[in-house]
């Protein structure tokens, strides 16, 4: 499948979806504290999506291998959970936890998708470093989103920054194009095994979701019996940050930021 280029008008429509995602994540982040459940966070997000007249992108999302549909508006991935954690009223946050919250919406025919990892209370130094390095790697990747730049350069920027800090990039899950569909071409790896000067070249109108997933230990993952929740195979901590970004003639445009 070719990479679909968006018109400037379509990019503007996508910005509305992206801003809504940012607003939902900001509201959810404000609520995160010891004692709240991920199910309650999901309930709040569902109400915000409904009030905005949008659709929740993840709710009832088909399983890629024929398993059950995804049951949440948010993905809430706790500690060693990498992505696709299922919200539940029985999952109660406590001091020292880290929670990755991923939100996607469809508004006016276009999708927005973003994630962030939040620490609950004071974190050990190495855990805080995990969050900082993962967030930094996302922004280093965004800097590579210029017309004429290469997708491989983006992956290399993430991998180099993460591995220099002694962490590991997840390879089994990657970012993606986004637009009228939640997942479009191209795939957006957070690593580069080839020549960074080769491969897909960025053009104005490309829109991608960049989402480094970074583990304290091994990069390998496993999926739990619920068919969705992805965990680190060695059960080390994992962090996840994501933005939807448009490549424009004026440079990268982060869509998933509040106005």
What is the pLDDT at residue 221? 99
For 155, the token pair is 């992956």
Strand, helix or coil for residue 125: helix
What is the pLDDT at residue 9? 96
- What CA–CA distance (Å, rounded) separates 205 from 6? 5
For 139, the token pair is 């922004």
Strand, helix or coil for residue 225: coil
Q: Tens of pLDDT along 153-207?
A: 999 999 999 999 999 999 999 999 999 999 999 999 999 988 999 999 999 999 9
Q: Is the pLDDT of residue 237 over 80?
A: yes
What is the pLDDT at residue 253? 98
Q: Interhelix angle for 151-164 vs 125-143, to 10°?
A: 160
What is the pLDDT at residue 103? 99
Grade residue 258 by pLDDT with cuts at 50, 70 and 90.
confident
What is the CATH class of 8-254?
alpha beta
Q: Tens of pLDDT along 14-26?
A: 999 999 999 999 9
pTM of the model: 0.96
For 62, the token pair is 């088909």
Domain limits, the chain:
8-254
- What CA–CA distance (Å, rounded) separates 211 from 140? 12
């Amino acid at each position: 499948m070719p990479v679909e280029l968006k018109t400037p008008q379509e990019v503007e429509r996508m910005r509305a979806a992206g801003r809504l995602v940012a607003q939902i994540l900001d509201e959810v982040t404000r609520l995160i504290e010891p004692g709240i459940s991920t199910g309650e966070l999901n309930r709040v997000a569902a109400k915000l999506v409904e009030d905005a007249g949008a659709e929740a992108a993840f709710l009832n999302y088909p399983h890629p291998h024929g398993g059950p549909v995804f049951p949440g508006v948010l993905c809430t991935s706790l500690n060693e959970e990498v992505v696709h954690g299922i919200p539940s009223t029985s999952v109660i946050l406590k001091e020292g936890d880290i929670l990755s919250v991923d939100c996607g919406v469809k508004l006016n025919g276009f999708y927005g998708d973003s994630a962030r990892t939040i620490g609950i209370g004071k974190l050990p130094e190495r855990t805080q470093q995990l969050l900082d390095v993962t967030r930094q790697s996302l922004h280093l990747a965004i800097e590579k989103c210029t017309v004429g730049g290469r997708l491989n350069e983006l992956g290399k920027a993430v991998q180099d920054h993460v591995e220099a800090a002694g962490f590991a990039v997840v390879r089994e899950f990657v970012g993606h194009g986004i637009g009228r569909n939640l997942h479009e071409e191209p795939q957006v790896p957070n690593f580069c095994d080839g020549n960074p000067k080769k491969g897909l070249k960025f053009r104005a109108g490309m829109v991608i979701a960049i989402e480094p997933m970074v583990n304290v230990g091994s990069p390998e993952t496993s999926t739990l019996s619920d068919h969705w929740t992805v965990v680190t195979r060695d059960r080390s901590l994992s962090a996840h940050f994501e933005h939807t970004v448009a490549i424009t003639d004026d440079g990268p445009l982060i869509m998933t930021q509040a106005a």
